[in-house]
Structure 1
Amino acid sequence: MKQLYYKKRAYVNITIIVVNVLYFLFLELKGPTEDLDLLKQYGAMYAPIVVGQGEYYRIFTSMFIHIGFSHLLNNMIILFVLGDNLERALGEIKYFIFYFVCGAGANIISMLISIQSNRLTVSAGASGAIFGVIGGLIYAVAVNKGRLEDLSSRQLIMLVICSLYYGFTGTGVDNAAHISGLILGILLAVVFYRKPSRLE
């Protein structure tokens, strides 16, 4: 009897998406989410506040803040399409830990780079964690000989290439968080993911 992972609902991933959407709507009621001062007030990443005032919780809260509707929409579509695959592969608890470790780790590395380069900007978004999810899937797909459920290595590599190309050619994109999240996702998947045994 074969294990049918695709039938299992990914409740953690769905909950993360719902929280992102609800917090975005809350911020929209307070003012436009393109207002960086508003985002700083409600938990966005900004190194002088995080380090200078000890508000380290922003490493996590910024993962639920998005700068405008298109930012939210793009991130949530990718998370909706890919996150459930990784949650089924890892299990609910491991996926929860994986998502937040990747997101927080990407934010910390991005902040340190911004401090070192003296480019102190407001940053927010789930993309560090989402790139972590992509990194985790790249590892899981590779372990499963190029395919996991409906995902293939080629699809994931193309997604990474297109996303990074958009980041480096566009403006206002936190490429440090993207690359950090991707690398952290691959490394963490090595620790968390175990290829399931096949039951016939």
Structure 2
Amino acid sequence: MAKYDQQWYRDFYGRYLTSFVMIIFLLLNVLFFVSQMILGNRLTDSGALITDNVYYGGQLYRLITATFLHADISHIVSNMIGLFFIGGLIEISVGHIGFALIYLMSGIGGNLVSVYYENFKHIERYSIGASGGVFGLIGALLVLTAYERIRSAREGKPVGSLLYRGLFVVVFMVASGFAEGGVNNTAHIGGLIMGMIVCTALVLIRGSKIKPMQL
């Protein structure tokens, strides 16, 4: 059987359907976006990440709700593509609970870093989006790729260049964010770092139970 025949594609993309936690998060994001379109600014204003409301108003729930809200169609589509393809790989590798921890803690952690940075710099910002969580998944992908390189080297298997390509993608995405206006790069970088930290902890705790990523 040729590697890239119809059966291969069915098996390759069909595995994402086993990542049911990722699918739940994806559906929640879509549900929130539909609610935003129905309710208008009421839902967005009540759940967006606003530094003063969190830092001085004690509205900590905004650290979570902001990760499920989006500005427009292109915003949610780009984030959901990242969530589906990267999140599916992560969940297959680290498991359902591990994936949920990485995604949620990256989104919350990225927003928390953003709040403290903006308060320190006296920046007033109104931000929404799942980008912090998605960047956390990218951070986890880098950690898992590095772990695979180490494991392959120990077993005498060929070591690929995926890690370097992943690092290039991260640098490109962060640089693109700085080049564009209205992008909360602090939350992106905070989410990226949090994803790497949580995934590293999972690798250290679970070890050989981490499944190799089938890219």
Category of TM-score, reference length = shorter chain = 0.7 to 0.9
Q: CA RMSD in A?
A: 2.5
Query: Cα offset for 1:156?
Result: 2.0
- Aligned counterparts of 1:132 and 1:19: Cα–Cα separation in 2: 18
Residue 107 of structure 1 deviates from its aligned partner by: 0.4
Alpha carbons 2:94, 2:210 under 8 Å: kept: no
Q: How many residues get paired?
A: 188
User: Which of the numbers 157, 167, 172 marks the counterpart of 1:157?
Assistant: 167
> Which residue pairs with 1:178 in the alignment?
188
- Looking at secondary structure, tell me which structure has more helix per residue: 2
Change (3 A) 1:197 1:133: closer
Q: Identity rate of aligned residues, in percent?
A: 31
Unaligned stretches of 5+ residues in structure 1: none
Aligned match for 1:44, one of 28, 31, 48 = 48
Q: Which residue of 1 aligns with 2:20?
A: 11
Q: Distance in 1 between matches of 2:136 and 2:88?
A: 13
Bigger Rg, which one: 2
Structure 2-normalised TM-score? 0.80
**Structure 2: where are the runs of 5+ without partners?**
1-10, 153-160
Higher deviation after alignment, 130-139 or 47-56: 47-56
96, 117, 122: which one aligns with 1:118: 122
The structural deviation recorded for 1:7 is 3.6
In 2 relative to 1, CA 197–105 (structure 1 residues): closer, same or farther, beyond 3 Å?
Answer: closer
* Displacement after TM superposition at 1:102 (Å): 1.1
Alpha-carbon distance in 2 for matches of 1:95, 1:59: 19
